[in-house]
Amino acid sequence: MKRTDIEAINLKQILEELNLKPNSKILDIGCFGQAGENGSDIIAEHFYEKGSITGICTRNCIPKKYSNIELIQGDYFKTDLNEKFDLIFLDLGGRNQIPVIENDLRDKLYNLLNKDGYLIYFVFLNDKYANYHYQEELMRKEIINHMQNYWLNLHNQNMTEEYIRKICEARLSDLYDIISVDNELKYKNDLLKQLEKDSPYLRGVIINGEHVSTRDFITWIVLKKLNN
């Protein structure tokens, strides 16, 4: 089992619940970065036969079996798109994800969605994500600043689904219907069991003496465009 299998189950359920048409137009921002492990593979499996998928990534990481995905190889921040989509899936590295969440949800991405279109992305559950040894100090500071500023310093409290939903509603409810807020802490026990069996394929950190996966630190958010 890959370390993404638990997350894949979650994203599959989200897509099934949204019940989008098979021929939907999809925009995957960060397409198959990290080898698709954060969700591009699930998006592709769900839509590649009948849908139209456009991906933006700085390099081509798309597996050959998904050759029908249209790749825009370049920088998301410098790319202008002249079409609209039924679903936008956002998965960039932490440094790029932060400015998109802080700025683009209210303008750029909203304007790229069709009527009743959906936006799926994730947020850091808390600033412990910044403690990974492989992240440079500047990125750690950016993550911590994002948590403190965007989440109003409340990240030190219990980041429940209800709490995160309230923050999203306060910031975005004039443009989006908050469809789903799915905190992956519910999968913690499954992930810890998997770590014991397959630790080379699972990144983790030690928190209070416990080895915990990165999946403990993100929450999936699904927004539906309101047609104001």
As a whole number of angstroms, the longest Cα–Cα distance in the chain is 50
**pLDDT confidence of residue 60:** 84
What's this model's pTM, rounded to 2 decimal places? Answer: 0.81
**pLDDT confidence of residue 88:** 97
Buried/exposed 64-84: b ≥16 CB within 10 Å, e otherwise: eebeebebeeeebeeeeeeee
**pLDDT confidence of residue 194:** 54
Burial of 22 (0-12, 13-18, 19+ CB in 10 A): exposed
What fold, for 5-225? Rossmann fold (3.40.50)
**pLDDT confidence of residue 91:** 84
Statement: residue 115 has pLDDT above 90: yes
Statement: residue 191 has pLDDT above 60: no
Domain positions in the chain are: 5-225
Statement: residue 225 has pLDDT above 60: yes
Q: Is the pLDDT higher at 202 or at 162?
A: 162
* Neighbour tally for 183: CB within 10 Å: 19
CB 115 within 8 A of CB 225: yes
* Neighbour tally for 188: CB within 10 Å: 15
Average pLDDT over every residue of 36-57? 84
| In 2-64, alpha helices (H) | 5-18, 40-47
Statement: residue 18 has pLDDT above 50: yes
Statement: residue 222 has pLDDT above 60: yes
CB 31 within 8 A of CB 55: yes
End-to-end CA distance of the chain: give it in Å, rounded.
44
**pLDDT confidence of residue 40:** 87
- What type of residue is 195? L
